[in-house]
């Protein structure tokens, strides 16, 4: 269950997680070296810290993690009254705040999720409620528009984003996936031109929407479950895409043997640097 790819520009490494295997991975395209770490429970998203190390979401907990020492420090827990929920995707905004959403771990279409904002000082704000599988998030290049995916409302929403306070307003539909298509929107990233790249699990595609929400292109992958994406490489001109093989049958895996791989493509546009958590 590959998810949450993040590019560390100073290290020139790609990081990503495997939710179900409870693993954190990193890869150096320059050397070809892959490394991994195992966590004590499922890990669902990651961000880099300005002071060094990583911020992770585990099942219900924000944690600080040191790759070298493997030291893990739990800093906050959410939804103690909702034992069936877990964290899903999360990402930092340009101001250094971390945004992470939750979902019902078994009944994915239950409106049980929330969207949280973790401030650099450790304070947590619940920003949105009654979400059906909170998923990929991102910001426009000018930082004034926030994109947020609800997978099983089959919708990517857009909001006006108030950069100083981190508040949202003027919610509207940015893009929708046909509920009868067999696919749903998952992770996303935003490029330097304002294009929004959204993975459509089930369809094996990634779609680039222009800033108005119009489909600009669709790329087909040799797997049905391309899950999330990020721009990386020295010039931020390579799009790295994770994928999943969770719950696929043996017959499906024979048909799509590359499921669970990480892919790299050069789409002809550049991305934005990863934002770092300020705490």
Q: If DSSP codes are grouped into helix, strand and coil, which group holds residue 256?
A: coil
Between CA 64 and CA 74 the distance in angstroms is 6
**DSSP at 182:** T
> Percent helix, strand and coil across the chain, each rounded to 5?
5, 50, 45
Between CA 142 and CA 2 the distance in angstroms is 29
Residues 6+ apart with CB under 8 A from 86: 42, 44, 59, 60, 102, 103, 105
Residue of 218, 224, 267, 230 whose CA lies nearest to 243:
224
Catalytic residue ranges:
186
Residues 26, 32 contacting (CB under 8 angstroms): no
């Amino acid at each position: 269950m590959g998810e949450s790819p993040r590019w560390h520009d100073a290290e020139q490494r790609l990081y990503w997680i495997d939710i179900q295997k409870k693993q954190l991975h990193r890869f150096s395209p320059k050397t070809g070296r892959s490394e991994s770490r195992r966590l004590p429970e499922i890990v669902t998203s990651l961000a880099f810290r300005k002071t060094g190390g990583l911020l992770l979401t585990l099942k219900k907990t924000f944690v600080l993690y040191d790759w070298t020492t493997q030291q893990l420090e739990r800093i906050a827990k959410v939804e103690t009254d909702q034992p069936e929920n877990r964290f899903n995707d999360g990402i930092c905004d340009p101001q250094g705040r971390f945004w992470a959403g939750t979902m019902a771990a078994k009944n994915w279409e239950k409106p049980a999720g929330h969207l949280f904002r973790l401030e650099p000082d450790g304070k947590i704000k619940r920003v949105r409620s009654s979400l059906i599988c909170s998923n990929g998030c991102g910001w426009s290049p000018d930082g004034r528009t926030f994109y947020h995916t609800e997978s099983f409302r089959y919708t990517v929403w857009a909001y006006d984003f108030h950069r100083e306070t981190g508040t949202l307003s003027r919610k509207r539909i940015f893009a929708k996936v046909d509920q009868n298509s067999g696919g749903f929107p998952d992770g996303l990233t935003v490029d330097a031109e304002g294009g929004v790249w959204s993975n459509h699990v089930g369809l094996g595609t990634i779609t680039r929407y222009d800033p108005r929400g119009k489909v600009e292109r669709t790329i087909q992958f040799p797997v049905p479950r391309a899950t999330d994406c990020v721009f990386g490489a020295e010039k931020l001109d390579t799009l790295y895409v994770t994928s999943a093989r969770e719950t696929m049958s043996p017959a499906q895996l024979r048909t799509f043997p590359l499921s669970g791989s990480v892919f790299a493509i050069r789409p002809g546009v550049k991305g934005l640097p990863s934002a770092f958590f300020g705490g």
